[in-house]
Structure 1
Amino acid sequence: MSTAIQMVHVKKIIHGREILKDVTLSIAERGIVGFVGANGSGKSTIFRIIAGLVKPTSGEVFVFGKKLHKDLSFPKNTSVVFEKPGFLEQYSGFDNLKFLADIQRKINDQQIITAIQRVGLDPYDKRPVKAYSQGMKQKLAIAQAIMEEPDLILFDEATNGLDEKSVDQLYHIVREEHERGATVLITSHHKADIDTLCNEVYRVHEGAVEKIMYLFHRGSVPSLFPPSCRRDAHLLPLFCYRPA
C-alpha cells in the first residue's frame, strides 16, 4: 500500500522550547489513524506541520510523495478541522462554504448543500454564523472538510462541542470518507472516538511519538496476543507498543 504521510526526524522548536522531538513516522494511504496525548503534548503541532501551516525546525515531511516546503507549500487535496473553527460570522453557513468552494471551483452548490446536510445542518438556514452554537460551528467545519472529497482529512478534536447524536454522525462520516478512499487522521481526548474509529494509533508524549498496535479490538481473541501486551484503562482495553 502506498504511503500517505511520512515524517523523517522532524523537530519543532518554538521560543527555545522543543515541541516535537525527532519525530519519524509513516502512515499508509486509506487508514483511519488516531493521535492521543495530553494537552500540549504536540498533537496539534503535528497536524499543522502535515497541513503545511507550520514549518518544522528540522526534518522532512512528505504527503503523498511530495516534500512539503520544497515540492509544494501545502499538500494538495487536504482538509483540516481544528478545535476552534473560524468563519465569516456575518454570513450564513452556506455562504461561508460557497466562498471557500469558489477558490478552487471543484464543486457546485448542490454538493455544498449535500455536505451541510450530511452533518445535520440546514443548508437553507439564513441566520449568520454568529448566531450558531459552538456545536453548529463545529458541524459546519466538518462539512467544509468533506465537501470537496479530499484525499487527506485531519480532524483535530473534531468531536468537541458535539452532542451524542452529532458524534455518531461524525463517526458515520469518517467511515464513509474512509470507504471513499480518504486517509483520515484524528486527535481526541475521548477514548470512544479512537476505539471506535481507528485502525492505528500514535501516542504523543512531551513531543515524542510512539506507535500503538491494536490487539484486543473488535472481537480479537486474547489467547493470540504476545506476552508483551498490557492493559491501560486510560486508553484501550489491551495494546502493546511497536516502534514507529
Structure 2
Amino acid sequence: MSGISLKNISKSYKGTTIFNSINLEIEKGKIHGIIGPNGSGKSVLFKIICGFIFPDSGEISVKGQDIGKSKRFPENTGIIIDRPGYIANKTGYENLKELALINNKISDSQIKSTMEIVGLKSSLTEKVKNYSLGMKQKLAIAQAIMENQQLLILDEPFNALDVDSVKNIRELLLKYKNEGRTILITSHNNEDINILCDHVYRINNENLEQVY
C-alpha cells in the first residue's frame, strides 16, 4: 500500500528546472532513501511532500489526503528539513515543551524520555544557544519523534552526530520501521543508506530513478 504518492511533479526555481514530471510511490512501513549530489533537489522534494512549498504542476497525496488541497500539511508527520529554529535562551527541554503545547498530545515525562532516547539529558540546564552541533541535531530528532509520529521525513538526520549517536539513531529508525512507521531519509553517507533503506531513489537530470 502506498503511503505517499507523487504524480507528475514538476518544479522550477528562477528558470532552472529541478523536477520534470517525476512520479514516486512510497510504501508504508518501509525506509526509503533519496540520494543525489548537492543541489539536486533532495530538500526541495521533501518540502513539497510536507506542503512547505508547492510544485508548479502535479499532485501529492499522503495517506490518502491531497496535500495543498484537502490538507495543507500531512498529519502525524515528524520532519527535519534544514536546521530547525529554536528559542536560543531556553533549554532543550523548554524548547520541546513549547512545541508540544501546539498539539498538546504528550506529557512532560514523554518529552523527557524522548530526550534520553536520542542521547540528551532531560535535566540539562544549558541553553540551546550553547549547544554543540551534535546536541542541536539530537534535539531536532527529538522534536521529530516525540509525538509518536507515524511518518518521518528526515533530511540528513545524522549530520554532526558522533559514531555512537549514529549507531543509536540507526537502531531507533530500524525499530520504528519494524513498528510499521514510514520513513524517508537523505544522507551523504552511503553506509546510512545501505544499512537502513529498503528502497533507494536517485535524483538525476530532473528525474527520479529507483536504485533498488
**TM-score interval (norm. to shorter):** over 0.9
Q: Which structure has the greater CA radius of gyration?
A: 1
How far apart, in 1, do the equivalents of 2:205 and 2:103 lie? 38
| AA of the residue aligned to 2:149 | P
Shift of 1:68: 0.7
Alignment of 1:219-230 (within 5 A): none
Whether the 8 Å CA contact 1:83–1:158 is kept in 2: the answer is no
Map of 2:209 onto structure 1: 210
Map of 1:135 onto structure 2: 134
Map of 1:228 onto structure 2: none
Shift of 1:203: 0.5
Greater length-normalized contact order (CA 8 Å, ≥ 6 residues apart): 2
Alignment of 1:94-109 (within 5 A): 94-109=93-108
| AA of the residue aligned to 2:177 | H
Shift of 1:206: 3.5
How far apart, in 2, do the equivalents of 1:116 and 1:133 lie? 15
| AA of the residue aligned to 2:61 | F
Q: Is 1:123 aligned to residue 122 of structure 2?
A: yes
How far apart, in 1, do the equivalents of 2:97 and 2:105 lie? 11
Whether the 8 Å CA contact 1:33–1:199 is kept in 2: the answer is yes
Map of 1:150 onto structure 2: 149
Q: What SS class does the counterpart of residue 117 from structure 1 fall into?
A: helix
Q: Is 1:18 aligned to residue 17 of structure 2?
A: yes
Shift of 1:85: 2.7
The runs of 5 or more residues in structure 1 that have no matched partner are 214-244
| AA of the residue aligned to 2:78 | S
C-alpha RMSD of the superposition: 0.9
After superposition, give the CA deviation of every residue in 1:78-103 in whole Å (9 maximum; x if it has no partner). 11112423211110000100000000
Map of 1:218 onto structure 2: none
How far apart, in 2, do the equivalents of 1:125 and 1:81 lie? 23
Please report the TM-score for the alignment, with normalisation by the length of structure 2: 0.98
How far apart, in 2, do the equivalents of 1:83 and 1:167 lie? 18
| AA of the residue aligned to 1:101 | A
Alignment of 1:84-95 (within 5 A): 84-95=83-94
Q: What SS class does the counterpart of residue 178 from structure 2 fall into?
A: helix
The runs of 5 or more residues in structure 2 that have no matched partner are none
Q: Is 1:177 aligned to residue 158 of structure 2?
A: no
How far apart, in 2, do the equivalents of 1:162 and 1:206 lie? 31
Please report the TM-score for the alignment, with normalisation by the length of structure 1: 0.85
How many residue pairs get aligned? The number is 212
Q: What SS class does the counterpart of residue 25 from structure 1 fall into?
A: strand
Name which of structure 1's ranges 198-207 and 72-81 shifts more when overlaid on structure 2. Answer: 198-207
| AA of the residue aligned to 1:182 | R
Whether the 8 Å CA contact 2:47–2:53 is kept in 1: the answer is yes
How far apart, in 2, do the equivalents of 1:206 and 1:115 lie? 39
Which consecutive aligned stretches of 4+ in structure 1 deviate over 6 angstroms post-superposition?
Answer: none
How far apart, in 2, do the equivalents of 1:177 and 1:108 lie? 20
| AA of the residue aligned to 1:176 | K
